[in-house]
Structure formats: C-alpha cells, structure tokens
Amino acid sequence: MRDEQYNPLFHRKHLNNWSGNDIKMYKKFIRLRAFEDKPSYPNSKQKVCVTCGIKASQEALFDVGDGIILIEKYCDTCAQNTNNLQ
C-alpha cells in the first residue's frame, strides 16, 4: 500500500470533512495588470472579483512556488487594497 493510505489526513472519511479554508497557501505577489473580460463563447460567465464579487478589471499575479503562477481577478477598489494582495 502507498504511504498516504496510512496518513489519517488522506483517509476518505477525513477528506469528506475537509474544506479548502483549512490550508494556507504561500503566495508572493508579483504584479497587477489590467484585465478586460472578453467572453470566448456565448454563454460564458462574467469574471468577478475574488474579494467582493463585482465585475473584475484587474488581474493579480502570484508566485506559489515550483514555477507556478496563480492569477486572481479583482475589481479596481479591491486591487488598491494591498492587504488583499499579500
């Protein structure tokens, strides 16, 4: 059997009670850039701010390690609040 099967955090009954809010991810702010929502298909949803839920106009790029870049979308007001971007 594989090692993770012996770890209680990976056991199926524990995963059913797990939520993404339990894990804090390291992310280092790289930069902010303008974002224009251009739907690629007719029924696509409008992109919204991850903080407040209104229409997004900025993208924040974060380095999360191992060469992976995370992109989060923000409205102008939330993008100016640097506490959200750290």
The 3-class SS string of 13-72 reads HHHCCCCHHHCCCCCEEEEEEECCCCCCCCCCCCCECCCCCCECCEEEEEECCCCCEEEE
Question: In this predicted model, what pLDDT tens digit does every residue of 1-42 receive, in sequence order?
Answer: 444 444 444 444 555 555 555 566 788 889 999 988 887 777
φ/ψ of residue 29, rounded to 5: -65, 130
Q: Is the pTM of this model over 0.75?
A: no
Tokens of 45: 């949803």
What is the reported pLDDT for 1?
42
Q: CB–CB of 69/63 below 8 Å? A: yes
